[in-house]
Amino acid sequence: MHTQTPTKSDTAQLPQLHLPRNDGMELDMDWVARVQANTSAIERRAATLPGRRSVKKQFQAAWLCKAISCIDLTTLAGDDTAARVQRLCAKARQPVSPELLDALGMTGLTVGAVCVYHDMVETAVAALDGSGIPVAAVSTGFPAGLSPFHLRVQEIKESVAAGAKEIDIVISRRHVLSGNWQALYDEMRAFREACGEAHVKAILATGELGTLRNVARASLICMMAGADFIKTSTGKESVNATLPVTLTMIRAIRDFEARTGIKVGYKPAGGISKAKDAITYLAMMKDELGDRWLQPDLFRFGASSLLGDIERQLEHHVTGAYSAGWRHALA
Ligand SMILES: O=C[C@H](O)COP(=O)(O)O
């Protein structure tokens, strides 16, 4: 593909919209038609990111604690049990040992949320009672999103009624692959409405969308339709979160904010299991969107095994030499 990403001057030609957060806006097909993605430029840029030393060694522990606070600690397995979810919730409340937390000089570190299937929402809500940690439910026939539409909407309502404060919906990939943007918009609006007061994250399943331009257009449409977050993947596709997809989606978020003033969150998910990858993602958010997107209300990792590696790296940090000033790195 030999197309250009929209330039700042393209964006400046568009009228500025001022919309309240969480409300959808009309589908703007002119805007959708303008969306481009320069795949080779994005891939070249993404390839440089893991090698960049944008986080100094003495600050890495602070970034890793930041990463923990942004994890949607996830179990989405067919053999999930109440006992497994309860253990996960205990881990969410206390993601690192009290000794390690003390050595890091921190208090009150928790993950961002616990993410489970609808059936496990009540168990997770009970296990997290009093912690302030929200439960996120994957609803709408996760992961394929191919159950009857009314059942997907009903699943959202039941997850909210069971106590989920965040709903991770899956979009119908076929709407993107067939260019049926109106159908994608209508679907997302219906899911948004069914969520009520709960926050909604739109899972694009980017590994199944074919092109980065499709990823950019689906991102934009879900944001227009009221998504609070856009999320890469279910973790069940053969390709899940990648750096090129991330650049594409967070630049869509940046353009959307530039035009509407609305800040939409970003959640890479699937296959993120290494502490160093978490730092790469955080550094990318800081570079592309700024410090505001390093907070859990605008950034989450969807991850089932990332926390373990971060914990190991933090243990290494407290036993090794590091600057006493690191805690202030991300204040
Ligand atoms: O939304 C979260 C993902 O399903 C987690 O994927 P993962 O098990 O590869 O970390």
Mean pLDDT, 10 residues at a time, over the chain (331 residues)?
A: 38 48 80 96 92 69 96 98 98 96 92 98 98 97 98 98 98 98 97 95 98 98 96 97 98 96 96 96 96 97 98 89 47 45
Q: Which domains does the chain have, with CATH numbers?
A: 28-328 (3.20.20.70)
Distance from the alpha carbon of residue 206 to the mean position of ligand 1, in angstroms? 14
**Which residues make Cβ contacts (< 8 Å) with residue 109, sequence separation at least 6?**
65, 68, 69, 95, 96, 101
Residue 128 has what pLDDT? 98
Contact criterion met (CB below 8 Å) for 122 and 162: yes
Residue 49 has what pLDDT? 86
Q: Is the dihedral of CA 160, 163, 166, 167 positive or negative?
A: negative
Contact criterion met (CB below 8 Å) for 281 and 25: no
Q: Ligand 1 test: best mutation among 233, 236, 277, most atoms within 8 Å of CB?
A: 233
Neighbours of 273 (CB within 10 A): 16
Does the annotation count 168 as an active-site position?
yes
Spacing of C-alpha 153 from chain mean position: 21
Amino acid 284 reads M
Contact criterion met (CB below 8 Å) for 24 and 195: no
CA distance 230 to 252: 10
Residue 20 has what pLDDT? 45
Q: Which atom of ligand 1 is nearest to the CA of 272?
A: 10
Residue 17 has what pLDDT? 53
Distance from the alpha carbon of residue 15 to the mean position of ligand 1, in angstroms? 38
Q: Alpha-carbon dihedral of residues 225, 230, 236, 242, nearest 10 degrees?
A: 140
Q: Where are the beta strands (DSSP E) in the chain?
A: 71-74, 113-117, 135-138, 166-170, 199-203, 229-231, 265-267, 301-303
Residue 144 has what pLDDT? 97
pLDDT digits (tens, 9 = 90+) for 10-67: 444 444 554 545 567 899 999 999 999 999 999 999 999 887 655 666 688 999 999 9
Distance from the alpha carbon of residue 241 to the mean position of ligand 1, in angstroms? 9
Residue 44 has what pLDDT? 95
**Which residues make Cβ contacts (< 8 Å) with residue 311, sequence separation at least 6?**
95, 96, 100
Query: For the whole model, what pTM was predicted?
Result: 0.90
Residue 7 has what pLDDT? 41
